[in-house]
Amino acid sequence: MRTVIIAVLAFFLTNCRQSAEQKVEVITALPKEIKEASACEISRGSELVWTVEDQHNNPTLFGFNRKGELIRKIHISNVQNNDWEDLTSDEKGNLYIGDFGNNDNERQNLAIYKINASGLNKEEVEASEIITFYYPEQKDFPPKKKDLVFDAEAFLYYNSQFYIFTKNRSSKFDGTTSLYRVKNTVGERVAAEKVSEFVTCDHYNRCAVTSAAMSPDKTKVALLSSDKVWVFTDFKGDDFFSGKVRQIELGHFSQKEGVCFEDNSTLLITDEAAKKESSYLYRLKL
């Protein structure tokens, strides 16, 4: 019996949620031209931090340095900004824009746009590939308020596929975010495949997922909210929720909407400016 109890306790301690508080460091204010930074990404071969703005803004990709100086402003000429919400990149330094913001759960034109690494030093480029997808579970547009679970503001690239983390907007918010896999396929509307779920916490303003990132060595996944980060490790395959999770309280509340890895143990975070205030770039050592 003692052996059984020890085994159960060991399993619980291994899989339980660890929580700690680590205050973020302010690096710099963002360039004033960026009003609504909704993403954060560092692509291979570029030292710049890249971001986009969300709905009602221009189809523009911004690149700035750690001093808050705007270095690149790239117009994407062949797509619209329906609701750009996050950025990710692949091993070759190509960037991908997630145009899948869906506040009202009404959209049927969810898309991901590829921006070639070779175009990141230009003033205007075209998206070289457009991947479109849908959630098979969604039958109504929009669904009932209790089923508003098809918005998303977070994704990452892994093993040549995309992984999207939904933003729960249901009337009975319980912190559940769903992980979907989207094949990197051009020319057909791809059905997103549900992988698993994770419950963050039960306060919408503090627990809704707003961005995601994977470490360069592929061993960590980070999810962001307005005042928290969840870091997942020791996961099996592409079920990032299957391993250990560490919840980090940032000690600071703002409209944080972008997270990316600066290196394997350091996160960068961006936020949107409140009225008459600045947006900032933050650093968090894990």
Any residues with CB less than 8 A from the CB of 218 and at least 6 apart, and which? 158
Amino acid identity of residue 14, one-letter, is T
Cβ-defined contacts of 80-83 (< 8 Å, 24+): 81/52, 81/53, 81/54, 81/55, 81/56, 81/57, 82/55, 82/107, 82/109, 82/111, 83/54, 83/55, 83/107
Asked whether the predicted pLDDT for residue 243 surpasses 60, the reply is yes
Asked whether the predicted pLDDT for residue 275 surpasses 90, the reply is no
Tell the burial category of 94 from Cβ atoms under 10 Å away from its Cβ (0-12, 13-18, 19+): buried
Given this model, what pLDDT does residue 135 score? 98
Side by side, which strands form the sheet with 193-199?
Answer: 151-158, 161-167, 176-183, 193-199
CATH code of the domain made up of 24-285? 2.120.10.30
Given this model, what pLDDT does residue 6 score? 39
Given this model, what pLDDT does residue 1 score? 47
Say if CB 227 and CB 249 are below 8 A apart: yes
Mean pLDDT for 169-189 is 96
Sequence spans of domains, the chain: 24-285
What is the rounded average pLDDT for all residues in the chain? 93
Condensed to tens digits (0 to 9), the pLDDT of residues 14-31 reads: 445 677 888 899 999 999
Any residues with CB less than 8 A from the CB of 272 and at least 6 apart, and which? 35, 36, 37, 38, 254, 255, 257, 279
Condensed to tens digits (0 to 9), the pLDDT of residues 36-86 reads: 999 999 999 899 999 999 998 999 999 999 999 999 999 999 999 999 999
Tell me the C-alpha distance between 100 and 108, whole Å: 10
Any residues with CB less than 8 A from the CB of 251 and at least 6 apart, and which? 21, 22, 23, 24, 227
Confidence tier at 251 by pLDDT (50, 70, 90)? very high
Neighbours of 282 (CB within 10 A): 22
Better-predicted residue by pLDDT, 169 or 276: 169
Q: Is the alpha carbon torsion for 16, 152, 253, 26 positive or negative? A: positive
Given this model, what pLDDT does residue 276 score? 75
Given this model, what pLDDT does residue 273 score? 82
Tell me the C-alpha distance between 265 and 260, whole Å: 11
Given this model, what pLDDT does residue 16 score? 56
Q: What is the DSSP secondary-structure string of 83-104?
A: ---EEEE-TT--EEEEE---TT
Say if CB 284 and CB 250 are below 8 A apart: yes
pTM, 2 dp: 0.93
Given this model, what pLDDT does residue 45 score? 83
Confidence tier at 277 by pLDDT (50, 70, 90)? confident
The H or E element containing residue 3 is helix 2-15
Tell me the C-alpha distance between 244 and 98, whole Å: 27
